[in-house]
Chains A and B, each alone.
Chain A
């Protein structure tokens, strides 16, 4: 009798054990495109580095709502802006814990000291921290924070005030950028004390959804969910970046399930991916614009009519079909449609060679003229093949009697020489940083940019310039939108550029991946993602 009890008991025990066993840890493998330069986003300007650091490990005071360019509270619960637009007071979130890792155990929660440290490391050129790890704070300087910020003041443990030198409405958007991530002061102090300050930038500690576990250069990065994440623990237990440089190999790994998400699919692979029932392809216009700029300092491009003629002379649809192969969208505006101030324009240029000829004749160039087209030597996110694009433009120009020869240089030289205005016309583009319209208008088309040469057409229009300067200090979004609309009308009429295209960005992942959103800035966030 006793013997018979054993099997039943055993079955029960097994059942109990099975129930007690924790659910299988869910691990997501992402085939990323390269190795990060560092794990401190302050030191880099590369999307690959941001994907591996700021976007999984850190938080910012304000953040972009995932999948949009909209600003939402991050480590700051809320903020006040003074009447004059010079003082921003941030009210910090309480009970936010830093990662507790093998190499650091925090003794306190996040507070104002961490904010102070994170900004002062990039600001105080004389402080010992400034020079650590090369001390090149690219974005902090590029976005003008070194000149814009007068002071960062700790009001109390949970209030921080940032004082600006002049009002600046893109400031909040900039505060959501990767370089404004918040690092732990306590950790910084501990590694400094140990005489290994660089460790801060190699073995990161943040407040974000995932914590760093291990990195092997050119091989992989391992993360683990941050158990005490203030937005709630992630559904994924582990996250792995499998560094895979070749896009065809990334696709092969996706197909065999070695990874569930892949970075940057090849445009030529998109068709086959869409046919694969296990794979989902998401797409979104990238935050970029490719343009063809005319140097207004050189005749005959000093005449608006000639520049307009150029806009009519080129068949942009053909460029889209041949160069972008369906991975682009015709650009009529300076800014891409993912930016909040974008709205379809009423009057856009349509391919019309006759109209172009007429305009040329009116400008006194009925017989055409000779010019050059500068074409970039490299592939960029906004332009897959500038050289071939220049050839198409060259053909279209020959139809209206303009003889153009194509010029190209090594990339660094190309940028330098064109900044000095050696070109007559040039192909170039821009990728946005913060989702603010000013981030396109000011650096590319302002009179100040014509001085530095970033404005490759060197076009400086007082009315246009006043409008974008006003829009930069205006706080109210509705009013800013109207100012930018008016600026765009002038831009179209004056035609310092021909806007070419916004390239479409793709993301490919297995259908078992849930909740992955496309980031308009071109990055990837695994917060909120789960596996079915």
Chain B
């Protein structure tokens, strides 16, 4: 087990290094010079251009810039945003809790609905219920997120007035940011109304963000359950005269969950990085929007640092899932 852990952890190093190099060179390969973009129609004189290049360190050979950057990263410094002049790590630290909070809530919604729905569809295979679940999850999976979010806003916020349109909290509440997680901060402040308001603000974006994982997990649970239900040990369990409840939830589901957990793990990484649209629409101050904007502005340090941190996180989640897999599946544990 510890050997496996060590091996998995060692694998992270080349992964992170590769991502760093890839981001560093790709963003520079993309057409678009940050200084020219900054200057716009007004332009910039040749001498001023040279001066700015020097200031940003772009006048160095690319390879030198890269090794400098690597050294900087190894020392825990991800650089400073060209646009805001704020350290990348500091900006990340401020925005990340918002992304994480939304992703966690979305994941809870997705799993709480998807697993029972998948089980139900598998147990009631080829009935109307099964067809409905399959159809809805197919629709959910192919839903254009942007459109879906606007639709929900128009229906629940503008027309019915049940939900706030965007943001994390009503502006009548002024909550001190301690952890960056609005639900926790409002509780720390002891303001129950603000907590409920924060929860209220989470509903629509969480539903939108949960849509695709919900569909994926439902389908995965259904097919995995179907697979397991065909197994001999299920027949044995039934033959023993166990109740149907016990057969499904104790014998079938536990085994069916193994591939589902892998999928959930993958979905978490997708949620973190794929929140760009959801964050943009709901004015959610998170990581996705931050990196996207940096790409538009060719804010190299932010793109590099942001992608590096997100990649590190994804690798971490995947590693954890892999290890979890071993914990759940005794067969695997013995093999290794």
Interfacial residues, chain A to chain B (CB-CB below 8 A)? 27, 29, 34-35, 37-38, 43, 45, 133-136, 138, 141-142, 198, 201-202, 214, 216-220, 222, 240, 242-246, 248-249, 252-253, 255-256, 258, 380, 409-413, 415-416, 419, 428-431, 443, 452-454
Interfacial residues, chain B to chain A (CB-CB below 8 A)? 31-33, 36-43, 45, 48, 52, 55, 82-86, 91, 94-95, 98, 150, 153-154, 157-158, 161, 164-168, 171-172, 174, 177, 280-286, 289-290, 293
For the residues of A in contact with B, the DSSP-based class is mixed
Task: List 10 other contacts, CB 8 Å, given A37-B83, A136-B55, A258-B167.
Answer: A27-B172, A43-B85, A219-B168, A219-B283, A240-B171, A246-B280, A253-B165, A256-B161, A412-B32, A415-B43
Q: How far is the CB of B320 from chain A (nearest CB, A)?
A: 28
Please determine whether B167 and A452 come into contact, CB atoms closer than 8 angstroms. Answer: no
Please determine whether A415 and B161 come into contact, CB atoms closer than 8 angstroms. Answer: no
Please determine whether B95 and A217 come into contact, CB atoms closer than 8 angstroms. Answer: yes
Measured CB to CB, the nearest residue on chain A to B43 is A454
Contact of A244 among B43, B52, B82, B166 (CB under 8 A): B166
Q: How far is the CB of B95 from chain A (nearest CB, A)?
A: 7
Please determine whether B157 and A252 come into contact, CB atoms closer than 8 angstroms. Answer: yes
Please determine whether B165 and A258 come into contact, CB atoms closer than 8 angstroms. Answer: yes
Per the bound structure, the CA–CA distance linking A83 and B257 in Å amounts to 87
Q: How far is the CB of A268 from chain B (nearest CB, A)?
A: 13
Measured CB to CB, the nearest residue on chain B to A139 is B42
Per the bound structure, the CA–CA distance linking A128 and B64 in Å amounts to 28
Measured CB to CB, the nearest residue on chain B to A248 is B150
Contacts of B83 in A (CB 8 A): 37
Q: How far is the CB of A520 from chain B (nearest CB, A)?
A: 18
Please determine whether B42 and A454 come into contact, CB atoms closer than 8 angstroms. Answer: yes
Please determine whether A429 and B171 come into contact, CB atoms closer than 8 angstroms. Answer: no
Compute the total of residue contacts between A and B using a CB distance below 8 Å.
Answer: 129
Per the bound structure, the CA–CA distance linking A416 and B33 in Å amounts to 10
Per the bound structure, the CA–CA distance linking A256 and B161 in Å amounts to 7
Contact of A412 among B31, B85, B290 (CB under 8 A): B31
Q: How far is the CB of B105 from chain A (nearest CB, A)?
A: 17
Please determine whether B94 and A217 come into contact, CB atoms closer than 8 angstroms. Answer: yes
Per the bound structure, the CA–CA distance linking A391 and B284 in Å amounts to 38
Please determine whether B289 and A216 come into contact, CB atoms closer than 8 angstroms. Answer: no
Per the bound structure, the CA–CA distance linking A142 and B42 in Å amounts to 8
Among B45, B171, B284, the one with the most A-chain Cβ atoms within 10 Å of its Cβ is B171
Q: How far is the CB of B334 from chain A (nearest CB, A)?
A: 49
Please determine whether B43 and A452 come into contact, CB atoms closer than 8 angstroms. Answer: yes
Contact of B95 among A38, A134, A218 (CB under 8 A): A218
Contact A412:B42 (CB < 8 A) given known A135-B55, A216-B94: no
Contacts of B94 in A (CB 8 A): 216-217
Please determine whether B171 and A431 come into contact, CB atoms closer than 8 angstroms. Answer: no
Per the bound structure, the CA–CA distance linking A416 and B37 in Å amounts to 10
Contacts of A430 in B (CB 8 A): 41
Per the bound structure, the CA–CA distance linking A59 and B95 in Å amounts to 32
Per the bound structure, the CA–CA distance linking A409 and B31 in Å amounts to 9
Q: How far is the CB of A223 from chain B (nearest CB, A)?
A: 12
Contact of B158 among A34, A134, A246, A252 (CB under 8 A): A252
**9 nearest A-B residue pairs (beta carbon):** A218-B285, A412-B36, A410-B31, A219-B285, A133-B85, A244-B283, A412-B33, A253-B165, A252-B165
Per the bound structure, the CA–CA distance linking A214 and B98 in Å amounts to 17
Per the bound structure, the CA–CA distance linking A166 and B172 in Å amounts to 53
Please determine whether A218 and B158 come into contact, CB atoms closer than 8 angstroms. Answer: no
A–B complex contacts, Cβ < 8 Å, 16 sampled? A35-B84, A37-B84, A134-B85, A214-B174, A216-B285, A220-B167, A242-B167, A243-B285, A244-B166, A244-B167, A255-B158, A256-B157, A411-B37, A413-B33, A415-B39, A430-B41
Measured CB to CB, the nearest residue on chain B to A44 is B83
Contact of A428 among B31, B41, B52 (CB under 8 A): B41
Measured CB to CB, the nearest residue on chain A to B167 is A242
Please determine whether A27 and B158 come into contact, CB atoms closer than 8 angstroms. Answer: no
Please determine whether B283 and A242 come into contact, CB atoms closer than 8 angstroms. Answer: yes
Contacts of B31 in A (CB 8 A): 409-410, 412-413
Q: How far is the CB of A132 from chain B (nearest CB, A)?
A: 9
Contacts of B37 in A (CB 8 A): 411-412
Per the bound structure, the CA–CA distance linking A222 and B290 in Å amounts to 20
Measured CB to CB, the nearest residue on chain A to B177 is A216
Per the bound structure, the CA–CA distance linking A156 and B33 in Å amounts to 46
Contacts of A201 in B (CB 8 A): 85
Please determine whether A218 and B289 come into contact, CB atoms closer than 8 angstroms. Answer: yes
Measured CB to CB, the nearest residue on chain A to B298 is A412
Per the bound structure, the CA–CA distance linking A216 and B165 in Å amounts to 19
Contact of B166 among A35, A135, A142, A253 (CB under 8 A): A253
Please determine whether A245 and B289 come into contact, CB atoms closer than 8 angstroms. Answer: yes
Please determine whether B82 and A249 come into contact, CB atoms closer than 8 angstroms. Answer: no
Contacts of A409 in B (CB 8 A): 31
Contacts of B41 in A (CB 8 A): 380, 415, 428-431
Per the bound structure, the CA–CA distance linking A429 and B290 in Å amounts to 29
Contacts of A416 in B (CB 8 A): 33, 36
